[in-house]
Structure 1
């Protein structure tokens, strides 16, 4: 039975996830930033003085890292978490790091009496706090059973895609190929509409009502239209995240000896955006790589009068 949960890292996603889990479980959290610990305490999460203290006695430990190397260091490096994990604990990897090293890390974790649940997720901080995340999972059946109450508390859509760690990362890699391409394509389409003198808002409304629509167009499109504003769009997913994720896609495709030219083209747009200083902006700001300046006025051209029915 899972009752005690630890969340290591209380950042933009970690804090709302911890708060959501605290509605059902006893949750301890750790972050190096004191203000994040204070915010966590206000939301029902017990602050820990160290990561080791947070994971001691926990049935499930949620971690988010940027790369497989960082995951290995967090677990097995100097001051790593593995020696402090309770026997039989599951470590739930919530981030996208690619398939490299996941199998080896799971095997090394097993030597410490713990198991890895590969559960990369999608969704922003608001959805994390509401338990409305999309999570894809690869895990051994026993580890999955232990982690399932935690995953169900966080996810509105939970897909078990395989019975070993790495399967979740593999599917998330495929997912990120499509997401990155869709964001880049939406940026190109809206930039073209602007260059042709079309009203951007009406163009987006028309596109999302027809066959050209996609989740990313509907979700990122309005934010892309804000990319030229003084403050830009609210940052819900940083542009440099897709530099990382499309890099994972490219590496996976090369490893499989599979051509992925569309994904490679999208990756170049995000890389250019990062080089131009847009990395910390919302990923919809990739439209500024395609079209550095807005061409039509804010209100756009006047709509022609409608003909009578």
Structure 2
């Protein structure tokens, strides 16, 4: 019962693996990038070559990959986890996906005798590593009975939002609507300040202590001040996530003017050449400004 599998050791997955280890779990991992899983062995984990090998060793498998396509590959691709999972095992899906896709996946796995938890996550790499991230979950009671303890171990807050898949993914994309709009608005505000000749560090200090602050302004504009666009969360993540938001709203003809504008801003940043940079690089679409250069040696 103290063994858990984790597939995907990116910024969030690596933090979750560390947190589960700190809670006494033997964590079995794999990652498509050569050497990444092996590096986790030095922290006390167990490395495997592929998802099937992880699934064969664990009754609970947590997937922390980017999107639905990667999740499909984890489950049903070559050496996929689904065929190796024993009846009664549980698959925990932590990606941001179309809620309808998540509903369909639950049925597909249930038909194979596998429990499923729709469990998107939020909070960033630091909170994942410290066990303080948020899980927005929805699952059948038997799935929670089988893997609820793993969810509680890997996160500071676990919300149980429904007794079948879909609600977790719906709440996550609503969160992403706000996150994307807040980043875009933060970038716009900082860009205006730069255009008007305001000292960037002073502006950051004032805003983060005033009513206009947001978690995203405080977090992402610190990246801009440091001129550090290392992709903890890349521009293209919000091209994808805000696209999912708009697809969901479009299906019910619901207007989302702010999300639409933010999506266009991330699209522009992506096509201008900043797709793989940190999402704060959306500020680079604004003309006529000189961005901070960070600290010099």
- TM-score scaled by structure 2? 0.92
1:51 corresponds to which residue?
A: 51
1:147 corresponds to which residue?
A: 147
- Which digits, 9 at most, give the CA deviation of each residue in 1:159-181, with x for residues without a partner? 22222111110000100000100
Query: For the residues of structure 1 that align with 2:285 and 2:100, how far apart are their CA atoms?
Result: 31
Query: For the residues of structure 1 that align with 2:209 and 2:170, how far apart are their CA atoms?
Result: 32
Quick check: which one's helix share is greater? 2
1:157-236 to structure 2, matched below 5 A, reads 157-226=157-226, 229=227, 232-236=228-232
1:105-124 to structure 2, matched below 5 A, reads 105-124=105-124
1:261 aligns with one of 253, 257, 263: 257
The list of structure 1 runs, each at least 4 consecutive aligned residues, that deviate by more than 6 angstroms after superposition, is: 295-299
1:278 aligns with one of 254, 271, 274: 274
1:238 corresponds to which residue?
A: 234
Query: For the residues of structure 2 that align with 1:13 and 1:214, how far apart are their CA atoms?
Result: 22
Query: For the residues of structure 2 that align with 1:77 and 1:140, how far apart are their CA atoms?
Result: 25
Secondary structure, counterpart of 1:61 in structure 2: strand
- Which digits, 9 at most, give the CA deviation of each residue in 1:138-166, with x for residues without a partner? 11122123222211122112222222111
How far off its partner does 1:295 sit?
7.1
Secondary structure, counterpart of 1:277 in structure 2: helix
2:285 corresponds to which residue?
A: 289
Secondary structure, counterpart of 2:274 in structure 1: coil
The unaligned stretches of length 5 or more in structure 2 are none
- Which digits, 9 at most, give the CA deviation of each residue in 1:70-126, with x for residues without a partner? 433432344432121022111011110121321121111012111110111112333
1:10 corresponds to which residue?
A: 9
How far off its partner does 1:4 sit?
1.8
How far off its partner does 1:49 sit?
3.1
Q: How many residues align?
A: 294
Q: Does the 8 Å CA contact 1:91/1:114 hold for their aligned counterparts?
A: yes
- Which digits, 9 at most, give the CA deviation of each residue in 1:233-263, with x for residues without a partner? 3432111111110000110110121000110
Query: For the residues of structure 2 that align with 1:79 and 1:46, how far apart are their CA atoms?
Result: 18
Secondary structure, counterpart of 2:290 in structure 1: coil
2:244 aligns with one of 224, 242, 248: 248
Query: For the residues of structure 2 that align with 1:245 and 1:254, how far apart are their CA atoms?
Result: 14
- TM-score scaled by structure 1? 0.89
- Which digits, 9 at most, give the CA deviation of each residue in 1:266-301, with x for residues without a partner? 0000000000111111111111112464179989xx
The 3 A distance-change label for structure 1 pair 141 and 195 is: same
The 3 A distance-change label for structure 1 pair 83 and 189 is: same
1:305 corresponds to which residue?
A: none
1:302 corresponds to which residue?
A: none
Query: For the residues of structure 2 that align with 1:45 and 1:292, how far apart are their CA atoms?
Result: 49
Q: Does the 8 Å CA contact 2:225/2:293 hold for their aligned counterparts?
A: no
Larger radius of gyration: 1
Secondary structure, counterpart of 1:13 in structure 2: helix
Q: Does the 8 Å CA contact 2:115/2:142 hold for their aligned counterparts?
A: no
Query: For the residues of structure 2 that align with 1:91 and 1:20, how far apart are their CA atoms?
Result: 18
Q: Does the 8 Å CA contact 1:72/1:105 hold for their aligned counterparts?
A: no
